[in-house]
Amino acid sequence: MAGPEFAIAIIAILILLILCSIPVVIALGLCSFVGLAYLTGSFTVASSLLANTTYESIRDYVFAVIPLFVLMGEFISRSGAAGDLYSIINRSFRRLPGRLALATVGGNAVFGAVTGVSIASAAAFARIAYPQMVRHGYDKGVALGSIAGSACLGMLIPPSVLLIVWGVIAEISIGRLFVAGVLPGILLSLMFMIFILGYAMLRPEVFGGPAGDAEDMLTSDEDRAQRRREAIGGLGALVLIAVVLGGIWLGAFTPTEAAGVGVLFALVLAIVKGVKPRGLAEAVLETGRISAPLLFLLITAQMYSRLLALGGINDFVQGLFLSLGDSPLLILALMVLIWFALGMFIDSVSIILLTVPIFAPISVTLGYEPLAFAIMGIVAIEAGLLTPPLGLCVYTVKGCVSDRDATLARIFMGSIPYWIILLLLVFLIAAFPGIATWLPAQM
């Protein structure tokens, strides 16, 4: 075991490489390999550990859950189910003030449950919801903020890619994590909606005013065939969610089996919705482009975990945190600040790979239940995606909207209330961990 100087050097080098725009997968791999070679005194031993880690990291069939859920999301996205869901939810909210913003939150919640990726939700609803909001007279900051803020639901509501990666790194059951994310996801959606309702009642003019909200998004010349197509897409997506999550909840499927069933269901839905063979093939290719980097990241993350254990870095960082005091809430607040800071510069998966091997053991020492800490971590990391100056959800919305008025500053300002609500949920779960730790008996 190396001393604290080695721990500080490794962490400093890793941060420096990331700040120099070196991809996280390469930075992790280099630091881990060189660090292990230094500890063992042999590049041969480090190479052997790398080969063994590569094999052990992804040979288990549980890792098929990542490309399968990504493929399911690709099929659903290409089928147009997101637009169908938005139209159905929007009509359901037609008597409520701020209904387009409410529909955006509801659509993001359901869309997130079939894609598991916040960035995908932000991109989809920036194209679907923003033009409708502008047409109905919404303040552009309010419209953009509701899209960027509610897109964070995609990483909390299962099947979330972040929950899968956290489960792999922290060695927690992915099925249990999925079920643990349901109540917080619903609660977060409700908190967003309550804020929008209250804001719309206080300042109806920024939500298009009474006239704008009273107007139905569907025009009178829309025929029944279009409504049937929307019903097929929207209800099909809801059934898919029920089958996947219900199967895991009831113990009928493992997460990997549920992902396989979900892919078959999504494929049928995409074909029914008219997706051509070329579109299906593109979905498969896109799945490969998304999944391969994730699997490489998992390999380097396992190497990183071995380096932390052999080098005594975990013990050093844990001692550093605990020396700040014996208040679990204070140390949790420090972790949240670190997640926020990292969220300015790197993506959510990379943040999990960098911090969870260090923070998870500390959370156990502090007395946090692993499932509750995982959900708190996911929510805090998602809030980091809204943190200026480089929140990735904000940049995604900006990139998908051609309006010159959709500036980064306007999107950041519009998303501040959602950022505050995310932060509130983190400490709400810390105070009431049962929000995340409720589980059916068979789980």
Q: What's the pLDDT at 14?
A: 81
pTM for the whole structure: 0.79
Residues shown for the chain: 443
Q: What is the DSSP letter of 347?
A: -
Task: Please determine, for residue 376, whether its predicted confidence score (pLDDT) is greater than 90.
Answer: yes
- Cα distances (Å, whole numbers) of residue 392 to 70, 259, 387, 408: 19, 27, 8, 11
Q: Which of 199, 162, 204 is nearest to 180 (CA)?
A: 162
Q: Give the residues across from 138 on adjacent strands.
A: 207
Ramachandran category for residue 407: left, alpha or beta (phi over 0 → left; psi -120 to 50 → alpha): beta
Task: Give the start-to-end residue ranges of the domains of the chain.
Answer: 4-437
pLDDT band at 390 (very low <50, low <70, confident <90, very high): low
- 94 three-state secondary structure: coil
The torsion angles phi and psi of 171, rounded to 5 degrees, stand at: 55, 50
- pLDDT, average across residues 376-394: 81
Structure tokens at 352: 């999990």
Contact 140, 106 (CB under 8 A): no
pLDDT band at 374 (very low <50, low <70, confident <90, very high): very high
Q: What's the pLDDT at 421?
A: 94
Most confidently modeled range among 158-167, 243-252, 420-429: 420-429
pLDDT in tens, 149-177: 888 887 788 778 888 889 888 888 888 88
Q: Which of 283, 291, 190, 245 is nearest to 443 (CA)?
A: 245
Q: Which of 92, 209, 93, 215 is nearest to 142 (CA)?
A: 209
Q: Which of 267, 354, 333, 345 is nearest to 81 (CA)?
A: 267
Q: What's the pLDDT at 74?
A: 83
- pLDDT, average across residues 341-369: 84
Contact 144, 213 (CB under 8 A): no
pLDDT in tens, 258-298: 888 989 988 998 898 888 999 999 989 988 887 787 778 77
Q: What's the pLDDT at 57?
A: 64
Structure tokens at 148: 């960027």
What is the percentage of the chain residues whose pLDDT exceeds 90? 12
- Mean pLDDT in the chain? 81
Q: What's the pLDDT at 191?
A: 94
Write 342-345 long-range contacts (CB < 8 A, 24+). 342/381, 342/384, 343/381, 343/383, 343/384, 343/385, 343/386, 343/387, 343/391, 343/392, 344/384, 344/387, 344/388, 344/389, 344/390, 344/391, 345/18, 345/19, 345/390
Task: Please determine, for residue 388, whether its predicted confidence score (pLDDT) is greater than 80.
Answer: no
- pLDDT, average across residues 339-363: 82
Q: What's the pLDDT at 389?
A: 63
- Cα distances (Å, whole numbers) of residue 167 to 63, 143, 394: 11, 34, 27
Most confidently modeled range among 205-219, 286-300, 389-403: 286-300
- CB contact burial 108-118 (16+ within 10 A = b; e otherwise): bbbbbbbbbbb
Q: Residue type at 159?
A: P
- pLDDT, average across residues 49-55: 77
Most confidently modeled range among 63-67, 223-227, 362-366, 389-393: 362-366
Q: What's the pLDDT at 222?
A: 54
Widest Cα–Cα separation across the chain: 76
Helices (H) and strands (E) in the chain, counts: 22, 0
Most confidently modeled range among 62-66, 197-201, 226-230, 339-343: 197-201
pLDDT in tens, 116-146: 667 777 877 887 788 888 888 888 889 999 9
CA-to-CA distance for 38 and 82, rounded, in angstroms? 51
Residue 413: how many other CB atoms lie within 10 Å: 15
